[in-house]
Amino acid sequence: MMNSENFTIEIDGDGLALVTWDMPGRSMNVFTQEVMGEFDAMVDEMVADAAVKGVVITSGKTGSFTGGADLKMLSGMFESFEAKKRENHDEAIRELFDGAGRMSWIWRKLETCGKPFVAAINGTCMGGGFELALACHGRVAATSAKMGLPEVKVGIFPGAGGTQRVPRLTDTQSALQMLLKGSTLTADKAKGMKLIDAVVSQDDLVATAKEMLKSGLSAVKPWDQKDFKLPSGPVYSPQGAQVWPAVASLYRKETNDNYPGARAIVKCVYEGLLVPMDTALTIEQRYFTEVLQTTEAAMMIRSLFVSMQELNKGARRPKNVPASDLKTVGIVGAGFMGAGIAYVAAQGGLDVVLIDRDQEAADKGKAHSRKLMEGLVSKGRATKEQAEAVLAKITATPDYDALKNADLVVEAVFEDRDVKAEVTRKVAAVLRKDAIYASNTSTIPITSLAEAFEDQERFIGIHFFSPVDRMMLTEVILGEKTGDKALAVALDFVRAIRKTPIVVNDTRGFFANRCVLRYMSEAYDMLVEGVPPAMIENAAKFAGMPVGPLALNDETAVDLSLKIMKATMRDMGEDSVDPRHFKLVEQMNGDGRLGRKAGKGFYDYPAKPAKKSLWPGLKDMFEQQPADQIDFEELKQRFLATMALEAARTMEEGVVVDPREADVGSILGFGYAPYTGGTISYIDGMGTEAFVALCEKLAAKHGERFEPTPLLREMAKTGETFYGRFPPEGSKAEAA
Ligand code: NAD
């Protein structure tokens, strides 16, 4: 039997073949064109070899079966389609269609080849890999294995039979939930949904799979047999009539109709369940071909897969600095943020010295990690030993001497220039001369804070978002004198704690907060105009934002908004804040409506389990416009455009230099409508010319804040894109 580059085959005395997928030189298996070719040939061989009675497929990588398809293969397919379509449109479409279905038809061949195949899922099994498992005749998973079809999250959908086999194994409602959310399932959950036949320990995996084959597993799938019944009954049946009307609302709730990939899932399931499997797979292939051509798919794959991976791998890291050997991190200020940073650092395997003004305050900061670890233990996501090991990494103390071995210190004390300066001097007195000092300030320019530190090359900003354990973005801020080594160490630190960094030049609000302030400020404008508050919140959500601007303002606190406004007016002049906005926020503060923490803000927060609701008094503050006279689409555009325009300004000013960072930063930092691919891709996706026209329209109606910038106007003349104008450096990271 032939082994190939990526697969080894062993046949035992019972005629059972064990196929092990193990890609050389990769930490994880992924499907590339080459792998699919080898897999295809392997299936043919198994069928041709009379000695083979059944086949087990597993992976040679510890803890993972596969991450799924190499998404760059898809973007590659799409690029060649774009290039070809001008010459010969029909042929280009045919090629794209064939490419889109390649994986699906190999899986179908396996499913109908006449010999039984069992997938032995030893670990993470995502996307195309899980679709392969679903095409097998039996599926055994290790207890720790996780699986799912996350394609919808990058703008596409499971196009290798996923939309057909899942709803043929489990009820339609659960199938659609899983497909539309792109959720990851534990082995037990997958078994509960009948997507997996057995869950066993890692050691028994292959033996159990072979047992299934020996006990006469059928090589004909239920849906290829005559008497097959769908788990939720036929689409056109009393049962179907119970299920399908609810699907539209589920779909709307998950997507607000913004994601072509999600829309295609509903169509594939609905249409596919009416017909036999081969026709169903053809339907899926057609929709897949269609979705691959959408702007949303192209933008989402680029930002949420390719760019994110490149940034995580250190696309912006200075190449001349050797990898830093980070062992100990000091954190000064064990408050809300410092406690969170200590937790993620300890989770990332670093030793942490957590300092506050006294022992009690330092201990309180460490207690935050204890609480989070206990939560993980109670959910079964960590063992008690693991929790203890993480906590043992954190030393809480008021003693600055404990920082003498630190490789990096992150300061997270009060947002007060003088307090920060004093802390900086105290740390500098004990810090090693090669160690790096970082501030987590959210508003004070790094360049000015660095003045309290003698060697300013070693001073940098690392700006976290709250809650630190859940927010995946960090902004690394370069002061004027920040050196390469500080940048490299900061990026190595961010990598160690498994967050995504963007590198930003020093400016008021850095990147994310600048854009977010525009979001909230646009909502203030709408309030002042008399747009009903519920309409404001809904427009933002329909535009694709995860949280409405008023709800977000309540989370970040309305007193903070007032503080920021006052600081802005102090530094930039009285005119820098709209007096109507100031009056609104001042009034809210005066009434004690400070946001969620006060139990009242733009919303009222009654005791649980009651839900928050918009404060009725808000409507009385401004004369309300009749809702039917408001252009709802335009409200959506205003939100997306004002943030995109701010992002464009940051690029024009050189605050952000790489469009990938603006895009990824906007999605991870403030949830900017992910289907757009981010703030800059929103502009590039519609075309600079169309964006400038949109801004001009909005500026004429709503004021000069929407005026396109000079650079945008210039780019619009030639149709230049941001990715064309500011080509990302070395953007060719490997998949997975
Ligand atoms: P916090 O008030 O919760 O915590 C500050 C901590 O610093 C307190 O525990 C305090 O005891 C300690 N501290 C004060 N002076 C000290 C000193 N001289 N020595 C040692 N410890 C001292 O504040 P926070 O919300 O955690 O913010 C901390 C920093 O992080 C600020 O610069 C803030 O702007 C920034 N930040 C906050 C957020 C946020 O959402 N809260 C987000 C990003 C950045």
pLDDT tens-place string over residues 361-385: 999 999 999 999 999 999 988 999 9
pLDDT exceeds 90 at position 137 = yes
- Pocket probe mutation, ligand 1, options 366, 442, 511, 517, max atoms within 8 Å of Cβ: 442
Q: Which is the closest atom of ligand 1 to the Cα of 340?
A: 26
How far does CA 275 lie from the centroid of its chain?
35
Sign of the torsion formed by the C-alpha atoms of 86, 90, 95 and 98: positive
Ligand 1 residue neighbourhood (C-beta within 6 Å):
332-338, 355-357, 361, 412-415, 419, 422-423, 440-442, 463-464, 466
pLDDT the model gives residue 315: 93
- Pocket probe mutation, ligand 1, options 358, 409, 414, max atoms within 8 Å of Cβ: 414
8 Å CB contact between 149 and 131: yes
Structure tokens at 642: 């004002």
Kindly indicate whether the domain formed by 7-293 is annotated with CATH number 3.40.630.10.
Answer: no
Q: Which CATH class is domain 328-508?
A: alpha beta
Average confidence (pLDDT) over 5-12: 96
Query: 358 CA distance to ligand 1 centroid (A)?
Result: 14
- By CB atoms closer than 10 A (0-12, 13-18, 19+), residue 344 is buried
Catalytic residue among 368, 463, 581, 702: 463
Closest CA to 577 of 588, 585, 568, 586: 568
Q: What percent of the chain has pLDDT over 70?
A: 99
pLDDT by residue (tens digit) across 482-537? 999 999 999 999 999 999 999 999 988 899 999 999 999 999 999 999 999 999 99
Q: Which is the closest atom of ligand 1 to the Cα of 439?
A: 32
CA distance 6 to 27: 13
Residues near 302 by Cβ (< 8 Å), separated by ≥ 6? 75, 663, 677, 681
Q: Which is the closest atom of ligand 1 to the Cα of 415?
A: 32
Domain ranges across the chain: 7-293, 328-508
Residues near 567 by Cβ (< 8 Å), separated by ≥ 6? 443
Closest CA to 294 of 127, 152, 91: 152
pLDDT the model gives residue 733: 38
Q: Distances in Å between the alpha carbon of 268 and those of 45, 235, 303, 370?
A: 32, 13, 26, 46
pLDDT the model gives residue 401: 97
Average confidence (pLDDT) over 562-590: 94
pLDDT the model gives residue 1: 54
Q: What angle separates helix 533-542 from helix 512-529, to the nearest 10 degrees?
A: 140
Owner of token pair 């087990």: 56
pTM, entire model: 0.92
CA distance 186 to 189: 5
> What is the average pLDDT score of the chain?
95
Closest CA to 474 of 356, 337, 322: 337
Structure tokens at 100: 């889109």
CA distance 171 to 174: 6
pLDDT the model gives residue 494: 98
pLDDT exceeds 80 at position 731 = no
Buried (b) or exposed (e) across 696-705, using 16+ Cβ within 10 A? eebbeebeeb
- Pairing relationship of beta strands 7-11 and 16-21 according to DSSP bridges: antiparallel
CA distance 560 to 207: 60
Query: 71 CA distance to ligand 1 centroid (A)?
Result: 41
Q: Distances in Å between the alpha carbon of 258 and those of 152, 365, 465, 476, 635?
A: 12, 41, 26, 31, 16
Nearest-CA residue for ligand 1 atom 17 is 357
CA distance 673 to 660: 15
pLDDT by residue (tens digit) across 33-51? 999 999 999 999 999 999 9
pLDDT by residue (tens digit) across 708-724? 999 999 999 999 999 99
8 Å CB contact between 115 and 47: yes
pLDDT the model gives residue 732: 43
Nearest-CA residue for ligand 1 atom 36 is 442
Nearest-CA residue for ligand 1 atom 8 is 335
Nearest-CA residue for ligand 1 atom 4 is 335
581 labelled catalytic: no
- Pocket probe mutation, ligand 1, options 331, 332, 336, max atoms within 8 Å of Cβ: 336
Average confidence (pLDDT) over 628-647: 97
